[in-house]
Structure 1
C-alpha cells in the first residue's frame, strides 16, 4: 500500500534514486539511468509539468533540438523499458528501498510513494509442538503467487504450445503406424495358431 506522494520527503526520494541507480538494470543501461535521474530531479525541482518527450530526448537522452516526438517513438520505447526496469528492481532488488518510484503509463512524470510493511504470515503463526504431526495442506498458508512479465507469459505459452505440438505429432505417428498396415493380430501369433 502506498502513502500519498506529498507525504514523501524529497530527501528520501533522492536517497532512493541513488539506490535505484546502483541496481543491475540501471548499471547495465546508462541511458535508462539518465532517463530516471532526469525525470525524478525535474519533478523534485517543481518542473514536473515540463517533463515531455522532447525535453527527455534533448536533455537526458542526448538527442538534438530537431527531435520530433511525433515521428520518433524512442522516448516512448525508453519509457517502457524504464517501467520494466523499475518493476524488476522492486521485485528482485528492493532490499532497503522504502520509497517506490513509478512512471505511470500515459506520461513521463514520476510518482513517489512509500511501501507500508505487510506483516509476515510465518512470524504470526504459532510454532508446532514437538512430536505433533505436520499441518495439513489446507491449514498451511498459500504460497505467494509468482508473477510473470508479459514476455515471460509469452515464453511459457510458447513452451506449452511446443510441448502440445510434439505430443500431437507423436500421437498422430503412433496412430498412423497402428492403422497403416499393421493387422490386429500379429503375424507370428497367427502363423503359430494354424
Structure 2
C-alpha cells in the first residue's frame, strides 16, 4: 500500500504532490483545520492504515479534540468533512486541474480515494510551437489548420529625396519672378554706370 493507493494503481509520490498542491491553495491556507483533516486522512491511507480512519481518530489526531470526544454526540467531524468536500471541489475546479491526482472524500465516509487526472500540462516545446504558429496565423486560422498569409517583411524607409543637380541645358531661372528681378538689377546697374560716367565728364570739363 505504500507504493500504490487504494482502488487505483496511482503512485504515492503523485498523490503526495497533489496533496501538497491542494494545501498550497488559498482555500486551504485560510483553514488550517481543513488542511490538517486532509493531510491526516491522505497520509494514513498511503501508510496502509485506511481502515483506522474514523471520526474519532480524525477528531483526536487531526482536529485537536480531547480523547473524550464522542462522535455519536458531536457531529463536528461530519460537518468538517462536508466543508472539506466543498473546498476540494473548489480547488480542483481551478488550480487543482494541473495536479496529477484528484483526491476525493466520498460522501458518508472519511477514507479518501484517488483518481488520476487525464488533463496534462502542455510541454514547453508544445507551447513554444503553438506560439510560433499564432505569430504567423490569426488565432482562428491556426486552430483550423488553415494556411495564413505569408509574412510581410518590414518596409524599409525610402531615402530622403535628393535635390537634383543642375544639368546642361536646364533653364537658368526656375520661375519668371526670378528672371524679372535679375533684369531689374541689371537695368539699375546700367543706369548707375551712366550716371557715374556723366558725373566724371562734368568734372573733367570744369
Matching residue within 60, 63, 84 for 1:61: 63
User: SS state of the match for residue 115, structure 2?
Assistant: strand
User: SS state of the match for residue 7, structure 1?
Assistant: coil
> Shift of residue 126 of structure 1?
1.6
Considering Cα pairs closer than 8 Å and 6+ residues apart, tell me whether 1 or 2 has the greater RCO. Answer: 1
The answer to whether structure 1 residue 126 and structure 2 residue 128 are counterparts is no
Query: Unaligned 5+ residue runs, structure 1?
Result: 131-194
Q: Superposed, which structure 2 residues align to 1:139-154 within 5 Å?
A: none
Give the Cα–Cα distance (whole angstroms) in 2 for the partners of residues 34 and 93 of structure 1. 20
Q: Superposed, which structure 2 residues align to 1:82-101 within 5 Å?
A: 82-101=84-103
Deviates more, 1:69-78 or 1:90-99: 90-99
> Shift of residue 94 of structure 1?
2.0
Give the match for residue 28 of structure 1: 30
Query: Unaligned 5+ residue runs, structure 2?
Result: 1-5, 121-139, 149-206
Give the Cα–Cα distance (whole angstroms) in 2 for the partners of residues 90 and 46 of structure 1. 25
In structure 2, do the counterparts of structure 1 residues 124 and 61 end up closer, same or farther at CA, with 3 Å as the change threshold?
farther
Cα shift readout 1:51-77 (whole Å, capped 9, x = no counterpart): 000000000000001101111000000
Give the match for residue 145 of structure 1: none
- With structure 2 as the length reference, what TM-score do the two structures score? 0.56
> Shift of residue 6 of structure 1?
2.7
Paired residues of 2:15 and 2:100 also in contact (CA < 8 A): no
Give the Cα–Cα distance (whole angstroms) in 1 for the partners of residues 88 and 39 of structure 2. 13
In structure 2, do the counterparts of structure 1 residues 13 and 72 end up closer, same or farther at CA, with 3 Å as the change threshold?
same
Q: Superposed, which structure 2 residues align to 1:161-176 within 5 Å?
A: none
Give the match for residue 154 of structure 2: none
